[in-house]
Amino acid sequence: EALVGCFDFEGKTVLYVVNYDMENKQNITLNFDTAQSMDIIQKAETFNYESTNELVLNMDPGEGALVLIH
């Protein structure tokens, strides 16, 4: 139960990931074909990943997160 929107922002790919379950926490996993560098903005904090092809987001009910791929 997740919703993922994909956007172009200044030539970069941005994903908006939402835990679509309004009652339960869940881990949402994003898999990429190749390793990507990215910034994740979640709970008003920014996290940076230098290179990964799998991203696991631990999300509260109804929570959203932005993933900016470099």
B/e letters for 2-26, b = 16+ CB within 10 Å, e = fewer, are eeeeeeeeeeeebbebbbebeeeeb
pLDDT by residue (tens digit) across 9-66? 999 999 999 999 999 999 999 999 999 999 999 999 999 999 999 999 999 999 999 9
pTM: 0.90
Using alpha carbons, select from 51, 56, 49, 61 the residue that is nearest to residue 1. Answer: 61
Phi, psi of 53 (to 5 degrees): -110, 5
Helix (H) or strand (E) holding 54: strand 45-59
